[in-house]
Amino acid sequence: MHQIIIKGVNSARLLTGKNISSQQLGRVIPRNVKQFSSLLNNTKATKTQKKTFSIINRAIKREQNNTAISIENVVGATFESSSERFRAGTLFRNTWNHQFRNLSKSYCGKMAPILAPTVKLNNGYEMPVLGLGTYESKDNEGEIAVKHAIDVGYRHIDTAYFYKNEAEIGKAIRDKIAEGVVKREDIFLVTKLWSIHHEPERVEGACRKQLQLLGLDYIDLYLMHLPVAYKYVDEDTLLPKNEDGVLQMTDADYLDTYKAMEQLVKLGLVRSIGVSNFNSEQLQRVLDNCEIKPVTNQVECSPALNQRKLTQYCKERGVTLTAYCPLGRPRPAENKPDFYYSEKTKALAEKYKKTPAQIILRYLVDIGTIPIPKSANPQRITENFNIFDFKLSEEDIATMDAFHTGERLVPFNLIKGQNHKYWPFNIEF
């Protein structure tokens, strides 16, 4: 439908009498032309004012090939003298303030947020290319973080049974649905099967318990958290150890676990399934033997471990790569990681008028990954999301590529130390 859009700062001020930030521009859609004309014509006005309305309406209707009509441009092009433009602008503003006060509040007081672009998965579902990580966000912290994230525009939320926060995450989502901020289908919720539940007979029960904790009817994406199985003791013993403090693992085959996860899709409990912390050979083994393809491989990925080869490998097979720890867990007291505090990153931040975190996240999106930065700080949650109004040049991507060292923050040393056959990092990628 043909619509009138507030397209510039002056247009916004003209119609609302308010200053509107550049982030909000292009998102105020008052009415379509017919409704707008009707409202103006029914407004109590002097003959001069009605004449002004009539002139503007005709000018708007002439813009039939424009899907976004700038009120500022129409007024500017329609009236020759500055006094006429001023009078028209004042008339528009007064009409807006008095006749459309509720509409003004609706659109200008509580704008619909800009959403992240999405990528189509190999099963047809859409996954936002940026998500909120919630590792170590517990108690009220996780709930508050997710609610703020949804208000900002996040629709991709990542959690796990291991994080022990699914109840809070689910509550935050349900509350936002109840408020009318989002519908369930707007949210792309990711959670994970923990390693104590790898025996095929435990998979469905684990998933149902997680749905109960979340308070939701289905999970958008269910991942196998690790290719390595741990000994089951009870539901709360997530890292089972013997009296010597040695992690207790089993030889359960991740392929059997994955086949049990396929049944969850058939039961309607989850829409998509995938893996996490799998190397290329492990992923290929799943692809060679599965009935339902994994849609993503969630792995550690940052400028220090940019996963270029694994990303390409996944892409060639129709699998996305989700990036956890994308910012490398910044430690300001140590000025670590290097890529975050580097003068080169700071120079790029200055060039694009962004922060180092925004440069890093944009880099990861530009090289084809789906970062899920974790934060419980409202300001940083907002900052991390504000990366869709710029792209890095090829030269600047090359600058960020140079930070790659292959060093891991999460090497799973407890598994490595026992030389488990499924420890994923014994090959290059």
What residues act catalytically?
Answer: 163
Catalogue the E-assigned strands of 261-394: 270-276, 296-300, 320-324, 370-371
Alpha carbons 160 and 158: distance in angstroms, whole number:
7
Element (H, E) at 11: helix 9-16
Tokens of 338: 């290097």
Peptide bond into 337 cis (omega under 30): yes
Alpha carbons 345 and 364: distance in angstroms, whole number:
14
User: What is the SS3 assignment for 403?
Assistant: coil
Cβ neighbours of residue 227 under 8 Å, at least 6 residues apart?
254, 275, 277, 278, 282, 422, 424
Number of H helices, E strands in the chain: 18, 14
Alpha carbons 360 and 326: distance in angstroms, whole number:
8
Rg of the Cα trace of the chain? 26
φ, ψ of residue 298 in degrees (nearest 5): -90, 120
Residue position matching structure tokens 């517990």: 138
Catalogue the E-assigned strands of 332-372: 370-371
User: What is the SS3 assignment for 272?
Assistant: strand
Q: How many CA atoms lie within 13 A of 424 on its CB side?
A: 27
**3-class secondary structure per residue, 103-148:** HHHHHHHCCCCCCCCEEECCCCCEEECCCEECCCCCCHHHHHHHHH
Alpha carbons 31 and 46: distance in angstroms, whole number:
23
Alpha carbons 370 and 133: distance in angstroms, whole number:
11
Alpha carbons 148 and 108: distance in angstroms, whole number:
19
